[in-house]
Amino acid sequence: MIKQSDKDLAAELVKRGHLTQAVSDQLLSGIENSSKSLKDHLIENNTLSERVILEALSATLNLELIDLKKISVQKAVLDKIPVRFAWYFKFLPINISDKKLTLATSSPLNIKFQDEIRVHLGLEPKIVLAPESDILDALNKYYGLAADTVDKLSKEAEKDESSVFKTDVWIEDLEKQTDDATIGKLVNQILLEAYKQRATDIHIEPYREKVRIRYRIDGVLIDANIPPAVKELLPSVISRIKIMANLSIVERRLPQDGAAVVKTKEQDLDMRISTIPTPRGESMVIRILPVNVRLLSLERLGLDQKHLKTFRELVKRPNGIILVTGPTGSGKTTTLYACLNEINSPDRKIITLEDPIECEMEGITQIQVNPKVNMDFAAGLRSTLRHDPDIIMVGEIRDLETAEIAIRTALTGHVVFSTLHTNDAASGITRLIEMGLEPFLVASSVEAFVAQRLVRIICPKCKEEVSTPLLEIREEIAKSLSMKVKDVKIFTGRGCDYCNKTGFRGRTAIYEMLLISDNIRAAILDKQRASFIKKLAIQNGMKTLRQDGWQKVIDGITTPSEVVNITMKDEELISLKKQGIEIPKEETQKSAENKRAEKQSSENKKENVSVKVREIDPHILSSKDTHQDARTYPRVNVSLPLRYSVVRQDKDNPGKIITENVEHSSITKNISAGGVRFVSGYALRAETILELRIQLHDDERSIDCLARVCRVEEDSMSAMFSVVAYYLDLSSASRVKLDNFVKAKIKEKEQKQ
């Protein structure tokens, strides 16, 4: 028998022109013997949209169809209706008055739940219509994310506490795949919601009174809408996540780190999980990393045209180091990935060393650095070189050893991308030298320092011009960008649903690119301070982080406070302007070229900041007092395999040194922790810089360093040359190793005698 309500609905849909009479008859006879309503049948088969059907139902049943986004529900109403009840029957309570409950549902013909409301709540239901998806969204909004699961779990916990809280029992439960509320489902809902909100991290923090769950969205922590009852479930939630990440659930007193992969409909998510013990329980941070790269390209990074062009030229150089600098969370890795994407092609071998691997990239060998098994950046870099890569990305340069190998790699004809933890581009230079690198090595290997920060993008849906912006800010912007104060327009986001009321949606980067030009190279060799180098760079035409930020402010991309929060005032720029020194403005390509030509023709003219570009001679290369006299270390006559290549000045590019590709094999005559004497078939000139590899033991990696030839003698017997060289950049670990080796050999010889 066909229900009257279905007949009415079918007639209304025909009347509205959504169905033909023939189709309508066919549909009705089709459901005649099923328990399904016409509405469910139409929706399941995608015949008509829910909205069209609801509009028709609204007419036949004389019920109002409302937009839930336009109403708000009092907390008193929500408190009266149990969460489980609302979730189970998928309705949203809207108002209670005179024992009448106004509720929104998409199934007005479901009589059962209306009876339940009468019986259990003693209220008379008054029905209004709304689409099911709107109702579920509203339930999330009002009752909190995953409220139904939490509520059910709390009830179960009351019934049988052991089933939820005793972990050994609980693991058993987890294996069961049921539709019931489980901790697993709750955890999944927390993770999925984080992903949907574009969160990069989830913070779970227990306090005395409550549990705080926060999502980091666009770099800012935002409270997740979680029912307070989660507090009771926290140990189980933490345990569940620990199991996913293969961590010990018994160990709660020590920090732990792990990883897990979860799936969403769109893609897999890689999660890095770390726990730390706190007095109120374990605190957990989950980092969410998308496994597949959303096509990262340089265009999408937020580079302006000039920066983009410079960057393109930079990443295509045949060798050298490009360092991206900035604090944690400034998007450095994203920039590196975009660089690799730009140059990734089948004829190039690219290897990365990362901790962690944030995105998997096709055609690139990615290596996870793991210090626990002695695979740190330095060790990884060394073994990477045996795989003959063209391009290497090292996640971060943290120590001298990594820096040294990175530089040697670059000098031997590779491109190296890496990151440094410094505030601006110029400080990158001083940081490397502070680590203990020779200035000439920095000057000759690094091509560019790129500093970057992330700023939030004003929400496009609620963006508006600020009517009365602070004069002070407008003046600073005008001065910084050399424009008129009245032309400075400032925008902001009012805050809407699309942006979680924050006024921002998404982030973009601001940049500062310091290219190692000749005058900067000379300043590095002179061990000049970062502020001096920054001034030079500004005169060379570098746009500072702050300036790039201001540009994005007047372009209406971000707000002044975003820029002020993360960049420093350009004291260098201000002082240059005070001195009346002309700063190059945004140049067109042509004028830049003209300028370069001009500069070359008048090379000897006095520069504003007086650093003379000079030829690097070997005396500069050998730093004055850092190398040790070999004689302060004990020396032993011993034959060890040794390889060397000659490091020479680049003819086309004075001020740069490169390593010749030929490697010569030789044998040591004597060795100490300060230097080495070896045989050579060539008469090497004194002061020549060599790259040395000394093999102390067959089964160990060689000791690699640069050395300076200080004496060459012809051996008349063998017609060979005997070369004495001092180490230049031997790491202290290698020096100790060499010294111990020599001392052991000496002892050995004494015992033989």
| CA-CA-CA-CA dihedral for 519, 520, 525, 528, to nearest 10 | 110
Q: Toward Zn ion, which CB reaches closer, 338 or 499?
A: 499
The residue range among 29-37, 93-101, 444-452, 459-467 that interacts with Zn ion, by the rule CB under 5 A, is: 459-467
**In the bound complex, which residue of the shown chain has the CB atom lying closest to Zn ion?**
459
Residue 459 makes contact with Zn ion by CB under 5 A: yes
Q: Which is nearer to Zn ion, 206 or 493 (CB)?
A: 493
**Nearest CB to Zn ion, comparing residues 215 and 678:** 215
**How far apart (Å, rounded) are the C-alpha atoms in residues 118 and 232?**
32
Dihedral, CA of residue 665, residue 670, residue 671 and residue 676, to nearest 10: -60
Which residue bears the tokens 């149990």?
A: 82
378 CB-contact burial (10 Å; exposed 0-12 / middle 13-18 / buried 19+): buried
Q: Which stretch binds Zn ion (CB under 5 A): 270-278, 457-465, 621-629, 652-660?
A: 457-465
Closer residue to Zn ion (CB): 88 or 498:
498
Give min distance, CB of 67 to Zn ion, in A: 19
Pairing relation of β-strands 636-637 and 463-465?
unpaired
| Contact code string over 15-34 relative to Zn ion, x by CB under 5 A | --------------------
Find the binder of Zn ion among 2, 221, 329, 498 (CB under 5 A).
Answer: 498
Distance of closest approach, residue 70 Cβ to Zn ion, in angstroms: 17
Count residues near Zn ion (CB under 5 A): 6
Within 10 A of 205 (CB to CB), how many other CB atoms are there?
A: 17
Instruction: Candidates 24-32, 260-268, 453-461, 537-545: pick the segment binding Zn ion (CB under 5 A).
Output: 453-461
**Candidates 53-61, 108-116, 316-324, 490-498 — which segment interacts with Zn ion by CB under 5 A?**
490-498
Q: How far apart are CA 472 and CA 458, in angstroms?
A: 21
Say whether 98 sits in a helix, a strand or coil: coil
Nearest to Zn ion of 217, 723 (CB atom): 217
Q: Which is nearer to Zn ion, 9 or 459 (CB)?
A: 459
Nearest distance from C-beta of residue 551 to Zn ion, angstroms: 23
Least distance CB 194 / Zn ion (angstroms) = 20
Stretch in the footprint of Zn ion (CB under 5 A) among 225-233, 254-262, 488-496, 535-543: 488-496
* Contact by Cβ (8 Å): 533, 426: yes
Own/partner long-range contacts of 651-654 (Cβ < 8 Å, ≥24 apart): 654/615, 654/616
Which parts of 85-124 interact with Zn ion (CB under 5 A)? Answer: none
Q: Whole-number minimum distance, CB 163 to Zn ion, in Å?
A: 44
Q: With CB under 5 A as the contact rule, which of the stretches 213-221, 239-247, 378-386, 491-499 interacts with Zn ion?
A: 491-499
Residue number, 329 or 460, with CB nearest to Zn ion = 460
> Does residue 462 touch Zn ion according to CB under 5 A?
yes
Q: Does 496 contact Zn ion by CB under 5 A? A: yes
**CB of 229 or CB of 496, closer to Zn ion:** 496
The only residue of 9, 289, 364, 499 in contact with Zn ion, by rule CB under 5 A: 499
Q: Which is nearer to Zn ion, 502 or 531 (CB)?
A: 502
- Smallest CA-to-CA distance from 61 within 3, 134, 128, 16 is with 128
The reply to whether 247 sits near Zn ion by the rule CB under 5 A is: no
Contact 485, 478 (CB under 8 A): yes
d(CA 686, CA 710): 5
Task: Pick the stretch among 14-22, 430-438, 477-485, 496-504 that binds Zn ion (CB under 5 A).
Answer: 496-504
> How far apart, in Å, are the Cα atoms of 516 and each of 185, 592, 597?
54, 17, 18
461 lies in the binding site for Zn ion (CB under 5 A):
yes
Q: What contacts 386, CB < 8 A, 6 or more positions away?
A: none
Taking the C-alpha atoms of residue 85 and residue 338, their distance in angstroms, rounded to an integer, is 49
Q: Which is nearer to Zn ion, 462 or 545 (CB)?
A: 462
CA-to-CA distance for 219 and 223, rounded, in angstroms?
13
Provide long-range contacts, Cβ within 8 A and 24+ apart, for 710-713: 710/675, 710/686, 711/686, 712/680, 712/683, 712/684, 712/685, 712/686
Neighbours of 125 (CB within 10 A): 19
**Rule CB under 5 A: which residues touch Zn ion?**
459, 461-462, 496, 498-499
